[in-house]
Copies of this chain bind each other. A is one copy, B any other.
Amino acid sequence: MRRTSFANWPCSFARTIDLLGDSWTPLVLREAFYGVRRFDEFQQGLGIARNTLSERLRRLVDEGLLDKRVYETQPVRHEYVLTESGRDFYTVVAAMTRWGDRWLADESGPPLVFHHEPCGHDSTAEIVCGHCRQPLDVHDVTPRPGPGYPAKLLSRPDVRQRFRLDEDPAGHRSV
């Protein structure tokens, strides 16, 4: 079954979700964050079928999150190294881990703790406003069409309603 593509939706969240596809792709990235680089190590760490792993690694290379490099020439062997965008994806892993620790862990507590070397403390990620650095809450945030939003969509009634473009700005509601 061909899945619906969200890659062209004017929404960075939908695009990122589209890139991930299914559960295996982010879990392959998780292994890379543990320092895994070689096919057999990914395969053993995840217990994933080899053809599934090949496809997910190719996807991550195509999308620019992993770089495929030769590390041995006789015979030729490759390893998969995080690119800058792949490494930056750790922020998403950290946000999801924080949420899972809070809402999915049982009474024994979080399965993993994360030691932050620069400050010397075990810590959980926090997701803050990049300007005032206070924790983000959805009720405090109002989404608006940005510079990359397709202009032709802005006249559609459903889009105008979604972003409340016809409401009094003084009384605008947050999401």
Contact = CB atoms under 8 A, between A and B. Distances in A.
Given A118-B132, A123-B129, A130-B123, A148 B110 contact: yes
A3 B122 CA distance: 34
Copies of this protein chain in the complex: 2
Interface string A102-122: 111110111111111111011
Interface residues of A, number: 93
B99 A16 contact: yes
Given A12-B96, A15-B100, A23-B21, A105 B148 contact: yes
B13 A100 contact: yes
A126 interface: yes
A82 to B, nearest CB: 8
